[in-house]
Amino acid sequence: MPSGSAKSREISSAYVDRESRSQKYRYGAWYLPKNLWQRSLTNEELRDPKVIKAEREDATRERQEQIVKYFIDFQQN
């Protein structure tokens, strides 16, 4: 016989499963090459992969500049 907490766990997992199945996904757009397609919810905005890549590169470049600046400051002291 399942205990009360086990039964509630079953009910909550069934609710999560039903909720995840009801979400709709899209995988890409006709104008993007298939190798760039990513699964996303239909209510999320499609973003250009080139823009995403540029944002990541900007953040990486900024971190590298901070490290170089810290290293130069460290050497001077």
Cβ atoms 36, 48 nearer than 8 A: no
For the chain, the domains span 1-43, 47-77
Higher-scoring residue by pLDDT: 39, 64: 64
Structure confidence at residue 67 (pLDDT): 92
pLDDT digits (tens, 9 = 90+) for 65-77: 999 999 998 888 7
Give the span between the Cα atoms of 61 and 30, in whole angstroms: 32
pLDDT at 30: 74
Q: Above 80 in pLDDT, residue 6?
A: no
CB 24 within 8 A of CB 41: yes
Query: What is the torsional sign of CA 6, 12, 16, 18?
Result: positive
Q: What is the mean pLDDT of the chain?
A: 76
This prediction's pTM: 0.37
When pLDDT is averaged across residues 38-54 and rounded to a whole number, the result is 80
